[in-house]
């Protein structure tokens, strides 16, 4: 083999994308020491997206003090492209679930206000083009917090300005645009999201994702009812109908807020990143592409990293194999067109042992070396 491309997502809780790819590269080199190996650290809109984009554009990081999901000030930040043209924001870095302890999780209270603060900071520093990843949120406030930070005001039936969190969704009767930052009209937002859920309903933000963010059954019903009420108000106020739009329910409805109020474009995170990285150009003449993540299953063919890689590779007739720690739904994966799906776990092994970074690196290297040996027969 003369050229192999390695493009892997992180093995969550175990290895970063870069670490997993280095292990795979070592496996290739064990068998084909002269092979050109090109590594593409990759993500699908959630954790890791910011680093990928900053590195790919030779950009830099901007530190900011902003509000976490419970309005506590933390040091966080965003990225800017090397040409100083695009601001990259990863909402999980300021309003993500990992920022809260298990007992602090409550989507009635958590807010996306900090995400709006990052946008505002970038706007005030001259940025008008944004790429924002919205995976991994701790929130279900339909983006109200973000909008509040940008100057939108939400009123209840008594004419009082409402506070923060998902708890206010069913109380909003009016939206005031008079204090919205004027530069927003010139800003362009591209939103990377890895889910296709609608704004509300059985497959919407609250019913599908709110429980993992700390909601109980009663909260979920109240949040969904609030989302439905707010979407009707959005329609009557802006003319935008977002209820059934795929991706509007991402990040607890943040996707819908971007659509309705900031005229954003929602894109599958992997599609957006591959385009930014000019992946199609860099894989030309490759003999093989190796992709993977911690677990692959039927969800992997619904906008996740492996399927995004496969779609690009198919355009050029390049075979793609997947390596993963856990595998399910192999029939679905095979039908999707992957040339092979391989578990990196060599024998019965406890999850605790398999998740140790050194063990995972060794397992990836060994598995890839075996694959390359077969491919070069």
Q: Given a cut of 90, is residue 269 above it in pLDDT?
A: no
SS3 at position 77? strand
32 band by pLDDT with thresholds 50, 70 and 90 = very high
Q: Work out the percent of the chain whose per-residue pLDDT is above 90.
A: 78
Per-residue DSSP letter, 162: P
Residue with tokens 């419970």, as numbered in its chain: 70
What's the pLDDT score for residue 228?
98
Of 150, 154, 178, which Cα lies nearest the Cα of 166? Answer: 154
Average pLDDT of the chain?
93
User: In sequence order, what E strands does 143-278 have?
Assistant: 153-155, 174-176, 188-193, 265-268
The lowest-confidence range among 9-18, 110-119, 178-187, 190-199 is 9-18
Residue 333: alpha-carbon gap to chain centroid: 22
What's the pLDDT score for residue 276?
80
CB of 116 closer than 8 Å to CB of 147 = yes
Q: Given a cut of 80, is residue 44 above it in pLDDT?
A: no
What's the pLDDT score for residue 47?
67
The lowest-confidence range among 2-16, 46-60, 189-203, 224-238 is 46-60
What's the pLDDT score for residue 18?
87
Of 83, 84, 35, 11, which Cα lies nearest the Cα of 345? Answer: 11
- Average pLDDT (269-292) is 90
Of 161, 166, 164, 155, which Cα lies nearest the Cα of 249? Answer: 166
- Average pLDDT (195-209) is 94
151 band by pLDDT with thresholds 50, 70 and 90 = very high
CB of 310 closer than 8 Å to CB of 337 = yes
Q: Which residues contact 24 (CB under 8 A, 6 or more apart)?
A: 6, 8, 39, 290, 292, 323, 364, 365, 368
Predicted TM-score (pTM) of this structure: 0.83
- Dist CA 272 CA 261 (whole Å): 21
Axis-axis angle for helices 357-375, 17-31 (nearest 10): 40
The lowest-confidence range among 46-55, 135-144, 146-155, 214-223 is 46-55
Pairing assessment for the beta strands 288-296 and 3-8 based on DSSP bridges: parallel
Q: Work out the percent of the chain whose per-residue pLDDT is above 70.
A: 98
What's the pLDDT score for residue 178?
97
β-bridge partners, 5: 38, 289
What's the pLDDT score for residue 193?
85
Q: Given a cut of 70, is residue 46 above it in pLDDT?
A: no
Residue 122: alpha-carbon gap to chain centroid: 20
Positive or negative, the CA dihedral 137, 140, 142, 146 is negative
Task: Quote the tokens at residue 361.
Answer: 């690196």
- Average pLDDT (220-243) is 97
Q: Given a cut of 80, is residue 349 above it in pLDDT?
A: no
- Average pLDDT (289-311) is 86
- Average pLDDT (274-301) is 90
Each residue's pLDDT tens digit, 168-197 = 999 999 999 999 999 999 999 999 987 889
Q: What are the respective helix, strand and coil percentages of the chain, to the nearest 5?
A: 45, 20, 35
Q: Given a cut of 90, is residue 75 above it in pLDDT?
A: yes
Number of C-alpha atoms within 13 angstroms, CB side, residue 184? Answer: 21
Task: Quote the tokens at residue 175.
Answer: 């939206």
48 band by pLDDT with thresholds 50, 70 and 90 = confident
């Amino acid at each position: 083999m003369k050229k192999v491309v390695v493009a892997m997502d992180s093995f969550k809780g175990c290895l970063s994308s870069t670490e997993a790819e280095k292990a795979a590269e070592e496996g290739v080199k064990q068998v084909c020491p002269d092979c050109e190996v090109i590594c593409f650290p990759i993500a699908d809109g959630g954790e890791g997206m910011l680093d990928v984009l900053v590195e790919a554009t030779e950009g830099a990081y901007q530190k900011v003090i902003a509000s976490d999901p419970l309005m506590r000030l933390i040091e966080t930040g965003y990225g800017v492209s090397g040409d100083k043209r695009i601001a990259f924001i990863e909402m999980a870095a300021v309003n993500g679930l990992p920022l809260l302890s298990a007992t602090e999780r409550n989507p009635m209270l958590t807010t996306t206000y900090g995400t709006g603060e990052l946008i505002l900071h970038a706007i005030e520093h001259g940025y008008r083009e944004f790429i924002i990843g919205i995976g991994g949120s701790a929130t279900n406030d339909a983006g109200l917090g973000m909008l509040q930070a940008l100057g939108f005001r939400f009123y209840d039936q008594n004419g009082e300005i409402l506070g923060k969190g998902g708890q206010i969704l069913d109380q909003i009767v009016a939206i005031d645009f008079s204090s919205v930052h004027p530069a927003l009209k010139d800003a362009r937002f591209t939103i990377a999201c890895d889910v296709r859920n609608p704004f509300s309903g059985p497959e919407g933000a609250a019913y599908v994702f709110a429980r993992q963010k700390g909601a109980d059954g009663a909260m979920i019903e109240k949040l969904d009812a609030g989302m439905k009420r707010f979407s009707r108000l959005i329609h009557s106020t802006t003319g935008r109908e977002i209820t059934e739009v795929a991706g509007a329910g991402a990040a607890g409805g943040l996707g819908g807020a971007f659509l309705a109020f900031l005229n954003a474009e929602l894109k599958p995170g992997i599609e957006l990143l591959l385009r930014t990285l000019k992946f199609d150009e860099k894989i030309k003449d490759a003999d093989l592409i190796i992709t993977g993540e911690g677990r692959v299953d039927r969800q992997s063919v619904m906008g996740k990293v492996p399927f995004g890689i496969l779609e690009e590779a198919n355009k050029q007739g390049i075979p793609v194999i997947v390596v993963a720690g856990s595998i399910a739904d192999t029939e679905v994966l095979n039908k999707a067109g992957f040339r092979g799906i391989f578990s990196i776990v060599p024998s019965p092994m406890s999850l605790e042992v398999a998740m140790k970074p050194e063990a995972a690196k060794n397992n990836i290297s060994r598995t890839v070396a075996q694959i390359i040996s077969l491919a070069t027969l």
